[in-house]
Amino acid sequence: MQRITISLPDAIAEDFDALVAERGYGNRSEAVRDMIRSAKALRAVEEGFDGEAVAVVSYVYNHHERQLASRLTEHQHHHDELVVSLMHVHVNREECMETVFLRGPGREVWHLAQHIVAEPGIRNGSINFIPL
pLDDT value for 86: 94
Question: Over the stretch 80-114, which tens digit does the pLDDT of each residue have?
Answer: 999 999 999 999 999 999 999 999 999 999 999 99
Q: How many domains does the chain have?
A: 2
pTM, two decimal places: 0.74
- List the domain range (segments joined by +) for residue 27: 10-46
Q: In terms of C-beta density within 10 A (0-12 exposed, 13-18 middle, 19 or more buried), how is residue 82 classed?
A: buried
Question: For residue 126, what pLDDT band results from cuts at 50, 70 and 90?
Answer: very high
In this model, does residue 8 exceed pLDDT 80?
yes
Do 97 and 126 lie in one domain? The reply is yes
Do 79 and 62 lie in one domain? The reply is yes
Question: Over the stretch 24-72, which tens digit does the pLDDT of each residue have?
Answer: 999 999 888 888 888 887 787 778 778 899 999 999 998 888 888 888 8
Question: Over the stretch 78-89, which tens digit does the pLDDT of each residue have?
Answer: 999 999 999 999
pLDDT value for 48: 79
- Residue at 76 is within a domain: yes
CATH classification at residue 93: 3.30.70.1150
Do 20 and 34 lie in one domain? The reply is yes
* Mean pLDDT over the full length of the chain: 90
In this model, does residue 21 exceed pLDDT 90?
yes
Do 26 and 85 lie in one domain? The reply is no
- Residue at 1 is within a domain: no
Question: For residue 11, what pLDDT band results from cuts at 50, 70 and 90?
Answer: very high
Question: For residue 73, what pLDDT band results from cuts at 50, 70 and 90?
Answer: confident
- Residue at 94 is within a domain: yes
